[in-house]
Structure 1
Amino acid sequence: MNRRHLSLITIASLVAGFATPTLADPNYPSKPVRIIVGYSAGGPTDTVARLVAAKMQAQLGQPFVVENRAGVGSNVASEAVAAASADGYTLLIAAAPITMNRFVYKDQKFNVEKSFEPISKLSSAPGVLAVRNGLGVKSVAELIALAKKSPGKLTYGSTGLGGSQHMAGELLQRLSGIQLLHVPYKGASNVMNDLLAGHIDMAFMTATGAMPHLQSGKVTSLAVAGPKRLTSLPNVPTVAEVGLPAMISDSWNGLLAPAGTPPAIIKKLHEAAVAALKAPDLKTKLEGQGGLVIGNNPDEFRAEIREEVNQWAEQFKSVKIDTQ
């Protein structure tokens, strides 16, 4: 066999090596696993991440370390995980805005349907419309009346441009015929801090993570943007009860891995995540904060992501967003 043939064999072997899919580590996990959160510590996504990470760590015998990388509507975290090695050691706790962001940030470096392997949708929670106490309103009707007196003067906070809280504010304006001023933040805890301090007038706070503040009386909860009242806020009416039945705002959290992560690892992570969600103390804590435990399978989660992307594609046709 001459040198030319040897060279061709060598090249072919290298190409075949690069084309070989990532193989699952039979001892996975054999080192710490990072779970990256695209929002600041203390918010609803961070709360779910830490509850689930602690349970998965106990089951799988390795540290599951939560790392916060807030910014650009959670895109900083999403892009980091999309570019990470597909070995199961870097995961993402995603929130609802991940299916909206392509319509907001045109230069994002990932595609939610192609860049990730869904593991499970973990939980969901409705938004709660809350206002600062000094605003002097006690109902949605009073809020709408005040907003109509001063168009564009009342402010509402959100966790970022194009996110679920932002879109909830857009929907409220469209349904009630009012004009509000949007103030985007890097995370839910930042929104709540400024609402408590009176720097903004209102926000659709995700029940999970914000419940202690919503129950404290330091802000005024006007309506639950979900189909039924929350047991943790029994005196707060639903949006249907206050005459805005289409004013639904649901936020979810789910676990994703980089595209190409071996099916055996996805299966192990899915089983651990679902077992974590079935733990009575975790379930009680999430539900006490207004959350709903989900725990669906990877195929179901993938289908829901695809469906949401299609829905948002239609809704964003009527919403103009400037991220400059």
Structure 2
Amino acid sequence: MFTRRAVLAASLLSAPALAQGRVIRLIVPFAAGGAADSAARTIAPRMGERLGQTIVVENRTGASGSVGGGAVAQAAPDGQTLLWDASSHLVNPALLKGLPFDYATAFTPISLVTTFPQVLAVKAESPVRDLAGFIALAKAQPGTLNIGTQGNATAGHLAVVQLQRLAGITLQHVPYRGGADAARDLAGGNLDAAFITALSAGPVVAAGRARFLAVAAEQRVTVQPEVPTFAEAGLPGLTISEWAALFGPAKLPLATAETLHAALAASLAEPEVQARLAQLAAVPVGSRPADFARFVQEGRQSMATLVREADIRID
């Protein structure tokens, strides 16, 4: 994806649409320390160097990311206030009522930055050793196995919905306020399983307090190469990731969006950045604004359908 030609093109682009020497506020609508926040803090300094500006990461949490989103929706479209959002950006319109802004019109998509594939893990005491065994146990005990996720309407929750549909099983969903909390209860044996990011599950698996069964990605993840994909484990069609993406306010000039994307793409091409993202179990993407705009539009429609058909609720 990051060819020499692409990197060269990015390096040749200056930032005429951005005021040199000013501070860019990068709003992350989630708590510090999570996968999306860590990726933002890895990439933002590199982008700032290329833009000739300082990028300050600001965590504005609350209401499934809509508090931070609202701050950017009200900002001027000058490229000085940006949003680093996650997959909830596509789900929120179908779940949250009475928002002071419209997700469909309040933002300018700039780039899908990284993806964070979801992984299915079970507690250490579980008799399950592979995905087939987990499905068999769930069928033998319908509705009794509890499975934790990062929260309602998150990528993990949507993955649980898809797992139940594809495997013909019924699980008891237990939403948390983040993947780290779900991982903690998985390690303590309070959960039978969890569907969270590899970053959240990794430490408890490494400590021998949980086991990976499968990753919901098209390819195995670098940080856990021994974990099979769902397709390899016998259940094709389950690919879902959390992600981090860059947005600007509505009516952001195309030149500004392209300048920001160029700085982002060049930053993602750096070996040091890629190494750090690999540690976060993140897959770099760096899609162009037009491609990402299509991704957002199509994803919003598909998520609205899934939320309706699965009767997903925010609380």
What TM-score do the two structures reach when normalised by structure 1? Answer: 0.83
Q: Percent same amino acid among aligned pairs? A: 38
1:280 positional shift? 1.0
Greater shift in the superposed pair: 204-213 or 144-153? 204-213
Query: Do 1:40 and 1:186's aligned partners in 2 also have CA atoms closer than 8 Å?
Result: no
Q: Which segments of 5 or more consecutive residues in structure 1 lack a partner in the other structure?
A: 1-23
The aligned runs of 1:287-302 (5 Å cut-off) are: 287-302=278-293
Cα 1:90–1:212, aligned 2, differ >3 Å: closer, same or farther?
farther
Q: Could you tell me how far apart the structure 1 residues matched to 2:214 and 2:18 are?
A: 49
The aligned runs of 1:80-99 (5 Å cut-off) are: 80-99=71-90
User: 2:218 aligned with 1:196, yes or no?
Assistant: no
Query: Do 1:156 and 1:200's aligned partners in 2 also have CA atoms closer than 8 Å?
Result: yes
In structure 2, the partner of 1:41 is 32
User: 2:23 aligned with 1:32, yes or no?
Assistant: yes
Cα 1:82–1:194, aligned 2, differ >3 Å: closer, same or farther?
farther
Greater shift in the superposed pair: 122-131 or 63-72? 63-72
Query: Do 1:160 and 1:185's aligned partners in 2 also have CA atoms closer than 8 Å?
Result: yes
Query: Do 1:33 and 1:64's aligned partners in 2 also have CA atoms closer than 8 Å?
Result: yes
Greater shift in the superposed pair: 191-200 or 307-316? 191-200
In structure 1, the partner of 2:151 is 160
Q: Could you tell me how far apart the structure 1 residues matched to 2:111 and 2:18 are?
A: 22
User: 2:47 aligned with 1:60, yes or no?
Assistant: no
Choose which of 278, 296, 305 in structure 2 pairs with 1:305: 296
Q: Could you tell me how far apart the structure 2 residues matched to 1:155 and 1:79 are?
A: 34
Q: Which segments of 5 or more consecutive residues in structure 2 lack a partner in the other structure?
A: 1-14
Cα 1:55–1:316, aligned 2, differ >3 Å: closer, same or farther?
same
Q: Could you tell me how far apart the structure 1 residues matched to 2:23 and 2:293 are?
A: 26
1:169 positional shift? 0.5
What TM-score do the two structures reach when normalised by structure 2? Answer: 0.85
Cα 1:61–1:279, aligned 2, differ >3 Å: closer, same or farther?
same
Query: Do 1:159 and 1:166's aligned partners in 2 also have CA atoms closer than 8 Å?
Result: yes
Q: Could you tell me how far apart the structure 2 residues matched to 1:210 and 1:62 are?
A: 35
Query: Do 2:214 and 2:228's aligned partners in 1 also have CA atoms closer than 8 Å?
Result: yes
Per the alignment, in what secondary structure is the counterpart of residue 100 of structure 1? Answer: helix
Query: Do 2:17 and 2:259's aligned partners in 1 also have CA atoms closer than 8 Å?
Result: no
Query: Do 1:225 and 1:239's aligned partners in 2 also have CA atoms closer than 8 Å?
Result: yes
Query: Do 2:29 and 2:85's aligned partners in 1 also have CA atoms closer than 8 Å?
Result: yes
Per the alignment, in what secondary structure is the counterpart of residue 32 of structure 2? Answer: coil
- Over aligned residue pairs, what C-alpha RMSD do you find? 2.4
In structure 2, the partner of 1:71 is 62
Q: How many residues align?
A: 301
In structure 1, the partner of 2:135 is 144
In structure 2, the partner of 1:121 is 112
User: 2:310 aligned with 1:319, yes or no?
Assistant: yes
Q: Could you tell me how far apart the structure 1 residues matched to 2:179 and 2:58 are?
A: 16
Q: Which of structures 1 and 2 has the bigger CA Rg?
A: 1
Q: Describe the superposition over 1:15-37 as per-residue Cα deviations: whole angstroms up to 9, x where unpaired.
A: xxxxxxxxx99662533222122
Query: Do 2:150 and 2:196's aligned partners in 1 also have CA atoms closer than 8 Å?
Result: no
Q: Could you tell me how far apart the structure 2 residues matched to 1:210 and 1:154 are?
A: 18
Q: Could you tell me how far apart the structure 2 residues matched to 1:132 and 1:70 are?
A: 30
